[in-house]
Chain A
Amino acid sequence: QELLVQSGAEVKKPGASVKVSCRASGYTFSGNYIHWVRQAPGQGLEWMGWLNPNSNGGSSAQKFQGRVTMTSDTSISTAYLELTRLTSDDTAVYFCARVRFGSRSPYDGFDLWGQGTTVTVSA
């Protein structure tokens, strides 16, 4: 069974950093691009960026550039999202998602999602 399993909930203070992990199983992790999407409470989906697990290359939304780092460790089939200089506006559920299996592009539909990691930023 193909799965993306994310790390547990985090509570952080403003100005801190958070690192969320996303472990893949049931498929070849290095074969598909990984994206990160977040969802603030009661709000819609917001795309953050994507990662090529093979090269650690990728791209992030302009809004997050300078604050976000996406990396991977193929030896343990895990992707990471690190977000720095947190504010209350970063309180959200963070999802990792896989580009549709078989797609050779970093951009396509996301056919497999993690369960989400709740990050709460509060003084």
Chain B
Amino acid sequence: DIQMTQSPSTLSASVGDRVTITCRASQSMSNWLAWYQQKPGKAPKLLIYRASSLQTGVPSRFSGSGSGTEFTLTISSLQSDDFATYYCQQYHRDSTFGQGTRLEIK
């Protein structure tokens, strides 16, 4: 199984900040990675697929990069609606999610 490790587990930031979340894979997986945003009591929402492709309708302040074993999700200027939990997901071999990063208001 491919293990996905996200960091940090919790991130405190303010509106307008630029934030970066990292996801590391236990083995190389090309660019078969997605990022999701989840708010309490809701289903996850797809933000990025294939490591860097922005899903239709997602604001351009979200971006993804990386390949191989290290990937990042960047939010260029935090908005109040962005405070949520973020998950990475690999789909190179079956599928696995990272443990999540909770983005909270500082």
Q: Is the CB of B43 within 8 A of A113?
A: yes
- The 8 Å CB contact of A46, one of B46, B55, B91, B97, is B97
Q: Does B94 interact with chain A (Cβ within 8 Å)?
A: yes
Measured CB to CB, the closest approach of chain B to A82, in angstroms, equals: 19
Q: Does A111 interact with chain B (Cβ within 8 Å)?
A: yes
CB-defined contacts of A12 to chain B, threshold 8 Å: none
Q: Is the CB of B100 within 8 A of A44?
A: yes
Q: Is the CB of B55 within 8 A of A109?
A: yes
* Number of A positions contacting B (CB below 8 A): 22
Q: Is the CB of B43 within 8 A of A108?
A: no
Q: Does B83 interact with chain A (Cβ within 8 Å)?
A: no
- The 8 Å CB contact of B89, one of A59, A109, A111, A115, is A109
Cα A96 to Cα B95 in complex, Å, equals 14
Cα A107 to Cα B98 in complex, Å, equals 16
Measured CB to CB, the closest approach of chain A to B55, in angstroms, equals: 6
Cα A122 to Cα B34 in complex, Å, equals 34
Say whether chain B's binding surface is mostly helix, strand, loop, or mixed: loop
Q: Is the CB of A44 within 8 A of B97?
A: yes
Residue among A46, A50, A95, A107 with max Cβ neighbours from chain B (10 Å) = A107
CB-defined contacts of B95 to chain A, threshold 8 Å: 35, 47, 50, 61, 107
Within 7-63 of B, Cβ neighbours of A (below 8 Å) are at: 32, 34, 36, 38, 43-46, 48-50, 55
CB-defined contacts of A61 to chain B, threshold 8 Å: 94-95
Q: Is the CB of B96 within 8 A of A44?
A: no
Which 5 A-B residue pairs are closest in the complex by CB-CB distance? Answer: A109-B49, A113-B43, A109-B34, A107-B91, A47-B95
- 22 pairs, CB–CB < 8 Å, chain A vs chain B: A35-B95, A44-B99, A45-B44, A45-B89, A46-B97, A47-B94, A47-B95, A50-B95, A97-B44, A100-B46, A100-B55, A108-B50, A109-B46, A109-B49, A109-B55, A109-B89, A110-B46, A111-B49, A113-B44, A113-B45, A114-B43, A115-B43
A: residues with CB less than 8 A from B are 35, 37, 44-47, 50, 59, 61-62, 95, 97, 100, 107-111, 113-116
